[in-house]
Chain A
Amino acid sequence: EAEVAQSPRYKITEKSQAVAFWCDPISGHATLYWYRQILGQGPELLVQFQDESVVDDSQLPKDRFSAERLKGVDSTLKIQPAELGDSAMYLCASSLGGRRGYTFGSGTRLTVV
């Protein structure tokens, strides 16, 4: 079964450093989502892409976070500078819609020290 690829799986970074996460969605999935999940809580949408266009980034802290999907395929989420409160799981998902919902990647667990 096709998968959403994410890397790295784990990342430890120091406060004020830059960090980047990568996501490759399932081939043909036009919609891509980045979520942040604090331990013990549900996922929070950061940004939604339709092809290469951002359709919702209302919850993205734009002073430090940026996201791009230049060719409408894979995507990168960047944090600069990282803060202690950014420690979380960052999940990428893609979707064709319909009854199967979203397919998630394995996530990147970020720890900021």
Chain B
Amino acid sequence: AQKITQTQPGMFVQEKEAVTLDCTYDTSDQSYGLFWYKQPSSGEMIFLIYQGSYDEQNATEGRYSLNFQKARKSANLVISASQLGDSAMYFCAMREVMDSNYQLIWGAGTKLIIKP
């Protein structure tokens, strides 16, 4: 069963508009972490934001915020005031413990294109 689901394969957004990238997850663990990464065409994977399952407030990092709805198992990334440089692949990932080791489970990604 898919543990991380990103339902938007691709999105086009006008520059300066806000963007919401969807992510739902499936876990029976009480303690877990959710990450968003950005991957430009150059290939490197860039950490954006983290949300812990016990965090009471939604995480924010500059223009990035995470809309965490624990009961719905949803962790959507919101990018405010989008810029051309935001064009990239975006991956949602969940850290869980497997055989006593922490591992990241990845979604399939969303390709975001910002239009001028």
Where the two chains meet, the residues of A that have a C-beta atom closer than 8 Å to any C-beta of B are 31, 40-45, 48, 50, 55-56, 89, 91, 93, 95, 97, 99-107, 109
Contacts and interface: CB of A to CB of B under 8 A. Distances in A.
Interface string B24-58: 00000000010101000011111100101000000
Contacts of B43: 89, 91, 106-107, 109
Given A42-B91, A101-B50, A50 B45 contact: no
Contacts of B91: 42-43
Interface in B87-111: 91, 93, 95, 98-99, 101-104, 106-109
A102 B47 contact: yes
Contacts of B46: 104
Interface residues on B, range: 20 to 34
Question: What secondary structure prevails in chain B residues at the interface with A?
Answer: strand
Question: What secondary structure prevails in chain A residues at the interface with B?
Answer: strand
A8 to B, nearest CB: 13
A48 B101 contact: yes
